[in-house]
Structure 1
Amino acid sequence: MSKLSSLERRTALTLAAVISLRLFGLFLILPVFSVYARAMPDATPWLIGLALGVYGIGQMCLQIPLGLLSDRIGRKPVITLGLLVFALGGVVAAFSHTLTGIVAGRALQGMGAVAGAGTALAADLTSEAHRSKVMGIIGVSIGVSFLLALILGPPLEAVAGLPGLFGFTSLLAVAAIAMLWWRVPTPTHHGAPAAASWRELASMFLDRRMLVLNGSVFFLHALLTASFVGLPILLTDVMRIPVAHHWMLYLPVMTIAALGMGAMLPRMKDMRRASHVVVGCVCVLGLALAGMALAETHVIVLGAAAALFFGAFNLLEAALPSLVSRLAPATLRGAAMGAYSSSQFFGAFIGGAVGGLALGHLGLRGVFGCAAAMTLLWLPLVVRGTRRMAAGGFASAA
């Protein structure tokens, strides 16, 4: 098996750091927000869920336009603009004294929609043979940032409060900009402006294999955001675990999940095997969420269910972008990753909204029960799309 070149290794590690810094800032909020947001003067379950997921609206609307723009003017200028907007949103949220103000700040953060351009830049700087490795490195780094955020979020919140966490996200975005220009190489070429017609764009967006992948990341992040509407409250109110000690559950859970992801990720290199792994992950996610709904006060049951959930989540989070980049034409890669990221963040918005509504009307069990029910909508999509994904390459829906 050939090794990554020095350029590919540098690209993978540096871009992984750039992407992970931004996502680390977003993830820091997850383990504490729903607990402490309840104390805000205008707090309702719906607003709590909305604040967690509203950034997905801006992401959904702007990922494709910014992905197309990155195909034309370059990835790095677009990523820089997005990170500046993201940093501004963090400042707005940090200085807000109401949940409504935080919703506004989170919405502005969402307008820094650069995930598609970032993954497209990684694809531009790597060969086809090594693209899965590079995407895997980035995916693993995202998993590590997620783990660190779950562990560090509660103690950082205890020191600086929610405003401090939001301010920290802005500082991380600025650090990511510096690293982007200092260490990430600039591609020597990218798709010509006239290379992609609207017909080609429509053909790519409607390709059924792309629809399977975009639909999968939609459901994946809907489940994640919905789960974190209820999980911190479940640990605090039902399990009676102080927020500052939540890391004692998250650390072993995420370690087990990371080991499971590492064992399964090599199977995702082959498109046929990858499609079957995706189907298996959907089933595992549904069972894990059902386990969370039934855990009650049993910490071991909750821990086992959470390990299954995050193991399947991390595996799909690492593998799906690579599958998209392998299916999309080179001249449309930025747009393809933009569409993928739009689906991802729209799922986060829907998950936050569903989780907030379920918490208000059905209670904690309802949050996890509704999330588990969403896998029943997801499963037919991936089962029917397995053969088309296994075919590889790019073809129109026609």
Structure 2
Amino acid sequence: MKIEQGMTPLEIRSSLSLASIYGLRMLGMFLILPIFAIYAEGLPGSPSAFQVGLALGAYGLTQALFQLPFGMLSDRYGRKNIIYIGLLLFALGSFVSGYSDDINIIILGRAIQGAGAISAAITALVADLTRDEHRTKAMAMIGATIGITFALSLMGAPVLNRLIGVPGIFMLTGFLSLSAILVVRFVVPTPLNINTSKTLKEPAPSFKSILKNKELSRLNFGIFALHAAQMAMFIVVPIALAASGGMDVNQHWKVYLPVLLSSFVFMVPIIIVSEKFNRAKLVFISSIFLMLIAQLMFGILINVFWGLVASLFVYFVAFNVLEASLPSLISKIAPPSAKGTAIGVYNTCQSLGVFFGGLLGGFLADFGGSFSVFSFCAILMTLWVGFCIFNASTTRN
């Protein structure tokens, strides 16, 4: 059978448009990360670090609760219909958070945002609209979009905070979510029933078998650990950056911009070498090691400005490689007849990481300080490394 070379214009359009919507979902989580802890210090009642962590993590709790049902419903009722519902919920939560300066109402709004759990439906729709030989490229676009969204959020959030404040950022993400509905309706193609008919001919793996799949389980733990550490560390990093560098939060982009750009420059050759010499597994595990080193550096150097900058550089290199790799890995391993369910489990684990990272990070920051936060993150990375090293098939090409 002749295999067509290169992605078709339809596949490119599908992948890019859905990656942008996926990025919007991540934007709602990432944009407030570098500024919310400092913003919360000025809220009525002076919220504790635990409340700040809960506000950051509430998004992940409801994501976890709705992610898997939305993924399964997308298998039954269609990807686009579920995406519409999710985007409306996301917009509603954004407006609730934007209209209040009460930390409890903000937590409620973040929880409503998270209920718009569209990640599994989007990822499954990408799989529906791309051929097998190009699916990894499409999933890599989603992974790259997450990294780019994270980078743009860290650089743009301080600027947006100066212009419209945190409430304005919430409102902006709400309006962007509503506009994304139009993109889904008029730009994203509607898949034919080719994949669906193929799927119906295959016996769908049971939900239990998805949970017991060892390769999927290791990747699920990885995304949990990655995002738990991310949420926990950003409860203390912005405050430490302001204290050690004497910088107003609106000036933090001056640190994030050069660090992020240099980390991307450093990351690209790593990806190229891994693909050229078939060393994806080695690069993947090395990136987890690098993430572990970053957390140890944070714990030791958190009060030293240039040490904090160096730690951020190491962190971003590792994060970008891992975040770009995981979606394509999960897509390759997930059974075609239950892809929506498998991806739903994966995204549920990501969301649980967001929730528990925010919750435990806030608790540890309140009662043990920043060192305990980074110790928690380091333990997560150590466990992840252990899973990969003792299970050779984890990152099979």
TM-score range, shorter chain: over 0.9
Over 4 Å off, 4+ runs: 192-199, 266-272
The aligned counterpart of 1:63 is 67
Equivalent residue for 1:30, pick from 12, 28, 33 = 33
d(CA) in 2 for partners of 1:388 and 1:372? 20
The aligned counterpart of 2:371 is 365
The aligned counterpart of 2:184 is 180
The aligned counterpart of 1:295 is 301
Contact 1:225 1:355 in 2 (8 A): yes
Question: In the alignment, is residue 40 of structure 1 matched against residue 58 of structure 2?
Answer: no
TM-score by length of 1: 0.92
d(CA) in 2 for partners of 1:310 and 1:289? 11
d(CA) in 1 for partners of 2:212 and 2:268? 32
Q: Write the mapping of 1:183-202 to structure 2, written as runs, cut at 5 A.
A: 183-189=187-193, 190-191=195-196, 200-202=206-208
Q: CA deviation at 1:366?
A: 2.6
| Structural RMSD (CA) | 2.2
Q: Determine helix, strand or coil for the equivalent of 2:41.
A: helix
Equivalent residue for 1:343, pick from 349, 353, 356 = 349
Instruction: Check 1:107–1:75 CA distance in 2 against 1; reply closer, same or farther (3 A cut).
Output: same
Question: In the alignment, is residue 105 of structure 1 matched against residue 109 of structure 2?
Answer: yes
Task: State the Cα deviation string for residues 269-324 of structure 1 (Å, max 9, x = none).
Answer: 69984333332121111111111122244333222221111111111111111111
Contact 2:92 2:174 in 1 (8 A): yes
The aligned counterpart of 1:258 is 264
Q: CA deviation at 1:183?
A: 1.0
The aligned counterpart of 1:278 is 284
Task: State the Cα deviation string for residues 302-349 of structure 1 (Å, max 9, x = none).
Answer: 222211111111111111111111111222111111111000010011
Equivalent residue for 2:153, pick from 139, 145, 149 = 149
Q: Determine helix, strand or coil for the equivalent of 1:163.
A: helix
Which structure 2 segments of 5+ residues have no match? none
Task: State the Cα deviation string for residues 61-92 of structure 1 (Å, max 9, x = none).
Answer: 11111111111111111111101001101111
Instruction: Check 1:263–1:2 CA distance in 2 against 1; reply closer, same or farther (3 A cut).
Output: farther
d(CA) in 1 for partners of 2:97 and 2:174? 10
Q: Determine helix, strand or coil for the equivalent of 1:386.
A: coil
TM-score by length of 2: 0.92
Q: Write the mapping of 1:321-336 to structure 2, written as runs, cut at 5 A.
A: 321-336=327-342
Q: Determine helix, strand or coil for the equivalent of 2:191.
A: coil
Which structure 1 segments of 5+ residues have no match? 393-398
Question: In the alignment, is residue 52 of structure 1 matched against residue 56 of structure 2?
Answer: yes
d(CA) in 1 for partners of 2:11 and 2:18? 10
Instruction: Check 1:312–1:108 CA distance in 2 against 1; reply closer, same or farther (3 A cut).
Output: same
Letter in 1 for 2:23: S
Q: Determine helix, strand or coil for the equivalent of 1:68.
A: helix
Contact 1:276 1:386 in 2 (8 A): no
Q: CA deviation at 1:384?
A: 2.3
Letter in 1 for 2:294: A
Percent identity for Structure 1 against Structure 2: 37
Q: CA deviation at 1:199?
A: 5.5
